[in-house]
Amino acid sequence: MASRQRGSAHAATTSRCAIERALSLVGDRWSLLILREAHSGVTRFADMQAGLGIAANMLSSRLEKLVEGGVLERADYRQPGQRSRPEYRLTASGHDLCVVLGALQQWAEVHMPPPGGPKVQRCERVSGKPVGVAFVNEAGMALQNDAVRLDGPLPPRSGEQS
């Protein structure tokens, strides 16, 4: 069993497996859907709750976990004449999860398509041209999935012998 870090609300695993560590933070349905909303520009609690149909206590706990994990940051905003309320913005770490959400979306379009086909697509923000998610080598060439190992050996660190 992997050990857990103390004092962390999301109890990130110290497993050597990067996938296991990532799943300890974002590996549940609600966290991924919250990130989808955040990547769509939704930042306010009430808007997330309405868009997702999630219970307030569930949304609060997931947002807290994502803030503690460094994926979202909480900032207060205030509309004139109203009390201060929190909004949740993506951090650099949160922005990096866009490719994960895109890969899940692309996979589901192929293996779990909705009746009538996809309703949205991944695209460039400026041009609107479609984009895909792929593994890319150091030369910038896209690779087929079967050409990629997720458990490949690491190069030796400087000063280490192979």
Burial class (CB in 10 A: 0-12, 13-18, 19+), 70: middle
Domain around 131: 18-147
pLDDT by position in tens, the chain (length 162): 343 443 344 445 678 899 999 999 999 999 999 999 999 999 999 999 999 999 999 999 999 999 999 999 999 998 899 999 999 999 999 999 999 999 999 999 999 999 998 888 899 999 999 999 999 999 999 999 999 999 888 888 877 665
Q: Angle at CA 108, nearest 5°, toward 11 and 123?
A: 95
Is 8 inside a domain boundary? no
Beta bridge pairs of residue 88: 74
Is 122 inside a domain boundary? yes
Number of H helices, E strands in the chain: 6, 4
* Strand residue runs (E) in the chain: 72-77, 85-90, 135-136, 142-143
CATH number at residue 56: 1.10.10.10
Q: What is the largest CA-CA distance in the chain?
A: 65
Is 4 inside a domain boundary? no
Is 13 inside a domain boundary? no
Give the Cα separation of 94 and 53 in Å (integer): 22
Is 113 inside a domain boundary? yes
Predicted TM-score (pTM) of the model is 0.83
Domain count, the chain: 1
